[in-house]
Structure 1
Amino acid sequence: MPCQWTLEDAGDGFVRIRNREGRGKYLCADGDAQNGTRAICSTHQQTWKIIPFNGESNRFRIVLSATYYVIDLDNGRPTPGAPVFIWNDNGGLNQVWIFEPVEA
């Protein structure tokens, strides 16, 4: 099953991204904001901006607040368990994420 997340309003157009299975764990960068920093689940509640991709209704870039870094799929390989990192926005599809509603 794909990872399931809940977006929590953090104000000013930003969200916190909470893992539905993670018991209070949120998406965050594991260290300083720079290319190659791993994205992990943590109790640290970083904020993100969700930006529509090409005007589509369910595809987005996930941008770390106060930076130009986005969530990036390792080497663009959509395999189960593949790590994700933050990286400069390079326009690649490996930096585009699909959001789908699920039942609570």
Structure 2
Amino acid sequence: MACIQSGGIYALINVKAQNSCLDLSGGDNYSIIGYGYHSGPNQAWMFERQYNGNYLIRSIGSGLYLNIEGEPRDGARVVAKPTQFQWHIEDEPSFQQAIRLFVPGTNQNVDLSDHGNATPGTPVTLWGKWNGNNQLWRIESVGGVR
């Protein structure tokens, strides 16, 4: 699984918008946006493997979990909440160290909106799986295992 270690801390950088990182917005501490990588704690995520093989993904900066707003559907916002939410992670064979993050049991995966718009603040949403590189996230270790 792209060398993900349970308890490992990673940044998730969009494959299409190459400097755009999965970022917990400092503006509302709720929205997940694409933002230029700066190695802040709001861009560091701890992956915690669960017994079923899925992962909890928790913000190092806030302790909130990567979650969704409402039901899994095209355009649903990816947000941070205090409630745990499991993600199914799949390696993307066409890119080294790239993954897709799915809502388990669906084809809905984490997508940098507007076809991977690199403008800081672009919303991160769910969208059905397709060939767009804006749905691929390169993982980079940014800390040890906790």
Is TM more than 0.5 here? Answer: yes
- Tell me, in whole angstroms, the C-alpha distance in 1 between the residues paired with 2:104 and 2:68: 11
The alignment's C-alpha RMSD in Å is 1.5
Structure 1: segments with no counterpart, 5+ residues: none
Pair 40,73 (structure 1): closer, same or farther in 2 beyond 3 Å? same
Match of 2:61 among 14, 21, 26: 21
Q: Which residue of 1 aligns with 2:99?
A: 60
- Tell me, in whole angstroms, the C-alpha distance in 2 between the residues paired with 1:19 and 1:81: 17
Match of 1:6 among 46, 52, 55: 46
Aligned partner of 1:13: which letter?
A: G
Structure 2: segments with no counterpart, 5+ residues: 1-37
Aligned partner of 1:19: which letter?
A: S
Aligned partner of 1:62: which letter?
A: L
With a CA cutoff of 8 Å and minimum separation of 6, indicate the structure with the bigger relative contact order: 2
- Tell me, in whole angstroms, the C-alpha distance in 1 between the residues paired with 2:109 and 2:86: 12
Q: Which residue of 2 aligns with 1:32?
A: 71
- Name the % identity: 30
| Count of residue pairs the alignment pairs up | 103
Provide the secondary structure at the position in 2 that maps to 1:102.
strand
Query: So what's the TM-score if we normalise by structure 2?
Result: 0.65
- Tell me, in whole angstroms, the C-alpha distance in 2 between the residues paired with 1:8 and 1:57: 21
- Tell me, in whole angstroms, the C-alpha distance in 1 between the residues paired with 2:112 and 2:139: 15
List 4+ stretches of structure 1 deviating above 2 A. Answer: 78-81
Query: So what's the TM-score if we normalise by structure 1?
Result: 0.90
Match of 1:48 among 87, 93, 98: 87
Task: Tell me the CA shift for residue 79 of structure 1.
Answer: 2.9
The CA deviation string for residues 25-57 of structure 1, in whole angstroms up to 9 with x for no partner, is 011111111100000011121101111111644
Aligned partner of 1:88: which letter?
A: G
Pair 5,13 (structure 1): closer, same or farther in 2 beyond 3 Å? same
Q: Which residue of 2 aligns with 1:87?
A: 127
